[in-house]
Amino acid sequence: MKINKPVITLAQIQGEKAILNWVSGDDRTASYIIYKKIKEDTWNTKTVKFTNISDVRYEDRDIVRGAEYTYTLQAVDEYGILSEKTNETTLILPKLQEVN
């Protein structure tokens, strides 16, 4: 039987980084996978996968202003069985406004 997916409790930009917090949806969870989709412009999107995350908090310092980042999480049990993915959550670090 599949394990339950984690529940994202916080997704926000703090300073120059993206912060994700979540709670485990299942006590059989051994680790988490974070999928980070980066939309640099209308035509360019790439996905990065982070595996073996043991914490329930993730700080992403590898973000740039104006790009759109979409995160989804997945739980993994001790046998490598994956949960469903969480709903996507999107964060953008706004571009700085130029002062004239």
Q: Which tens digit of pLDDT belongs to each residue from 7-51? A: 999 999 999 999 999 999 999 999 999 999 999 778 889 999 999
Q: What is the reported pLDDT for 92?
A: 93
Question: Who has greater pLDDT, 44 or 91?
Answer: 91
Q: Which tens digit of pLDDT belongs to each residue from 54-87? A: 999 999 999 999 899 999 999 999 999 999 999 9
Q: Which amino acid is at 29?
A: T
- C-alpha distances (whole Å) from 27 to each of 21, 61, 67 are 17, 29, 35
What does R_g of the chain's alpha carbons equal in angstroms?
A: 15
| Cβ proximity of 34 and 75 under 8 Å | no
Taking Cα atoms as reference points, which of 32, 47, 48 lies closest to residue 85? 32
Q: What is the reported pLDDT for 95?
A: 85
